[in-house]
Amino acid sequence: KTAYEIRPRDWSSDVCSSDLNELITQVGPGTPTGELFRQYWFPFLISSELPEPDCAPTRMKLLGEDLIAWRNTDGTVGMMQNACPHRGASMFFGRNEENGLRCVYHGWKFDTEGQCVDMPNEPAESNFKHKIHATAYPCVERNGIVWLYMGPRTMPPALPDLESTMLPADRYETTIVNYLRECNYMQALEGDIDTVHSNFLHDGAVDFATLTPGTGDYYRRKTQAPKFVATDTDYGTLYGAQVPADEGTSYWRLASFLFPF
């Protein structure tokens, strides 16, 4: 294991170029960071957002792609491109029925693998439906979260064996929340791993005299310039921010970062 101190950045060097900013922040198809992210499974939906088989689909944009998620008649979750391959109609308005999502424009129906399984506007003897395939991505559901793989591998990598996703139903309690941040993912990441800004942004208006000695809020406000240390782990990176606490002790704020999220 490697532990290393995080030192102040040398802002005199011109490393914040527009090219570097573009490289890191753009995640659409064909971008370097977007292609990297597509190598991993990632959580994208709460199971309750698709409450039952054949319920209404939901639409979303992931890594720059407009997509539709739906729960199949057999209970599995499907994810496919928003635009029907026929005339580009939105599959968000499709009819979720009998193990497939049917476009409302001409009735073309697709299974969870993106294969067209019914084409009612073609003669019965036609085999054209077998030639039509929509972009679709595999989904896996664990403990209230649906995971998605958008990468190029025919056989996706193993889903991360995170403890919270592996426990049986009677062994865990969970509250899963999702919310919209109107910013780039990198801005959200910077905020999540920044343990200093809360002292000023979230707690700056709180009178220090009202804080209870011995609490985290008290120590963080008492010393607002923590020492940062990071260490590599088997699952990613663990970092800590240290400030003095009571005599001979320190107060630590710890957080984990599991790549790429």
- 1 pLDDT above the threshold of 60: no
pLDDT for residue 112: 96
Residue 179, pLDDT > 60, answer yes
Q: What is the pLDDT of residue 119?
A: 95
Here the contacts of 113-120 (C-beta below 8 Å, separation 24 or greater) are 114/80, 114/81, 116/85
Distance CA 49, CA 55 (A): 10
Residue 199: phi and psi, rounded to 5, are -60, -30
Q: What is the mean pLDDT of residues 132-140?
A: 96
Structure tokens at 129: 């439906």
Residue 12: pLDDT over 60: no
pLDDT > 90 in the chain, percent: 60
Residue 28, pLDDT > 80, answer yes
Instruction: Decide: residue 10, CB within 10 A, 0-12 exposed, 13-18 middle, 19+ buried.
Output: exposed
pLDDT, average across residues 151-161: 91
Tokens of residue 96, six digits: 């979720």
Amino acid occupying residue 221: R
Most confident of the following: 126-135, 170-179, 197-206: 126-135
Mean pLDDT for the stretch of residues 53-57: 96
What mean pLDDT, rounded, does the chain reach? 89
Tokens standing for residue 144:
């209230």
